């Protein structure tokens, strides 16, 4: 079998690493891939947004299955194109991916199908948005409606912060068209966790829970990022919480999307928060989360290629998970999520059993792998307990504590 993974980040490297374990796969490709994927996949120089190029490659190479990693090509209709060409693809259509592509659509959908989430209002005019903030007060959450690489969410602790966020999005166009509409939500207090599932229409197969750390610095300080690390599973999420989330969130969403004429196939990601009234949805993603995937997939005992095929064929993949924990710490370029330098040589790590390094923002320059993004690597470990997994990940990182080009949080999983 030949398999193509579309994308270049840590999420895609994690998918590639898991697929590389499959004995059924003869050749594994990544497009465009990154500097760390070379050992597990053949990297081909086709951009993830070059849908015509990807379709042509899949046809020429007789690719048996394509897995789409990032959100932008999903919202551009890459799955639709592959399906139209008779190519097997594991990904939602453009119509289904709107669940992530438009936060206002997602909120209206949740309201219609009585899926628990925060109260909200949608605005395109700054004055009306500001009047709403003055009425509601702070803390309050302001979100760019469209895709903003995980950075279009402002949790404003004061009214001034909230008003500035409206100015940034609706007037200064900080997120371009993604912020032309804003969703303003009530602030929900509680601990966040992520629940991903393999979905095919009304069939939903949940994964283990994960929790990521969004703020750039220790103690959850600094600006929001795409995620500075994660761990799985989450000890404080009970079976009761999971059953509720499965029944009232994931299953309702899958069933509702069919009723909307947008049947969902792919990975459904629910970003949840544990409130006093139970789990509520903060956001949906329509693909594997990043960095949660990097700590969830290492715990999967199944052949991932077989799982993708079973789900597409309407079969129960009988997911089997290790009775273990996994922690991953993101190594980022100094200055991230703001201005940062590229081109720094990647440090070497003494990887041992149950520890691993996943590449995100890297590329190959000659024989040297160098940084090529804000989030550069994820250094992870598996162990019988969360404490041990966390300790092992940080032991791997310890020699690089004072690296001049990179930084990482010291409290992931703690």
28: β partners: 3
Nearest to residue 296, comparing CAs of 410, 197, 217, 151? Answer: 197
CATH-assigned architecture of domain 191-312: 2-Layer Sandwich (3.30)
At the top level of CATH, the class of 2-91 is alpha beta
Exposed/middle/buried for 236, CB within 10 Å: 0-12, 13-18, 19+?
exposed
Question: How many residues are recorded in the chain?
Answer: 414
Q: Decide if 84 contacts 72 (C-beta within 8 A).
A: no
Mind listing the pLDDT tens digit for each residue in 327-357?
A: 999 999 999 999 999 999 999 998 988 999 9
Tell me which CATH code domain 119-186 carries. Answer: 3.30.1490.20
Q: Specify the pLDDT at position 171.
A: 86
At the top level of CATH, the class of 325-407 is alpha beta
Q: Specify the pLDDT at position 96.
A: 98
Exposed/middle/buried for 70, CB within 10 Å: 0-12, 13-18, 19+?
buried
- Residue boundaries of the structural domains of the chain: 2-91, 119-186, 191-312, 325-407
Q: How confident is the model at residue 150 (pLDDT cuts 50, 70, 90)?
A: low
Averaged over 163-190, what is the pLDDT? 88
């Amino acid at each position: 079998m030949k398999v193509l993974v579309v994308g270049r980040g840590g999420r895609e490297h994690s998918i590639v690493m898991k697929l590389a374990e499959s004995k059924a796969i003869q050749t594994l490709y990544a497009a465009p891939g990154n500097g760390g994927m070379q050992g597990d996949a053949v990297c081909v120089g086709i951009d993830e947004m070059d849908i015509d190029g990807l379709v042509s490659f899949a046809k020429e190479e007789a690719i048996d299955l394509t897995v789409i990693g990032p959100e932008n090509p999903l919202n551009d209709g890459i799955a639709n194109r592959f399906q139209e060409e008779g190519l097997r693809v594991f990904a939602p259509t453009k119509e289904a991916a709107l669940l992530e592509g438009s936060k206002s659509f997602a909120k209206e959908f949740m309201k219609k199908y009585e899926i628990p989430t925060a109260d909200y209002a949608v605005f395109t005019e700054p004055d009306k948005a500001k009047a709403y903030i003055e009425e509601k007060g702070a803390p309050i959450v302001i979100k760019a409606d469209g895709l903003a690489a995980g950075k279009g969410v402002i949790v404003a602790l004061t009214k001034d912060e909230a008003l500035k966020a409206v100015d940034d999005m609706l007037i200064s166009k900080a997120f371009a068209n993604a912020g032309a509409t804003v969703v303003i939500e009530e602030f929900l207090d509680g601990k966040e966790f992520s629940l991903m599932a393999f979905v095919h229409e009304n069939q939903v197969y949940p994964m283990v829970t994960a929790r990521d750390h969004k703020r750039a610095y220790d103690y959850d300080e600094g600006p929001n990022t795409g995620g500075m690390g994660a761990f799985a599973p989450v000890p404080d999420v009970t079976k009761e919480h999971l059953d509720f989330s499965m029944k009232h969130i994931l299953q309702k969403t899958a069933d509702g999307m069919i009723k909307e004429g947008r049947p969902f196939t792919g990975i459904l990601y629910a970003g949840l928060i544990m409130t006093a009234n139970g789990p509520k949805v903060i956001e949906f993603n329509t693909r594997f989360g990043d960095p949660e995937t990097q700590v969830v997939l290492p715990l999967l005992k199944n052949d991932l290629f077989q799982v993708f095929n079973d789900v597409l064929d309407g079969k129960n993949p009988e997911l089997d998970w290790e009775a273990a924990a996994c922690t991953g710490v993101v190594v980022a370029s100094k200055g991230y999520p703001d201005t940062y330098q590229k081109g720094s040589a990647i440090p070497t790590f003494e990887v041992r059993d149950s520890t691993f390094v996943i590449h995100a923002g890297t590329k190959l320059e000659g024989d040297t792998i160098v940084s090529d993004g804000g989030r550069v690597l994820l250094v992870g470990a598996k162990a019988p307990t969360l404490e041990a997994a966390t300790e092992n990940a940080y032991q791997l990182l310890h020699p690089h504590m004072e690296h001049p080009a990179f930084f990482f949080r010291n409290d992931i999983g703690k």
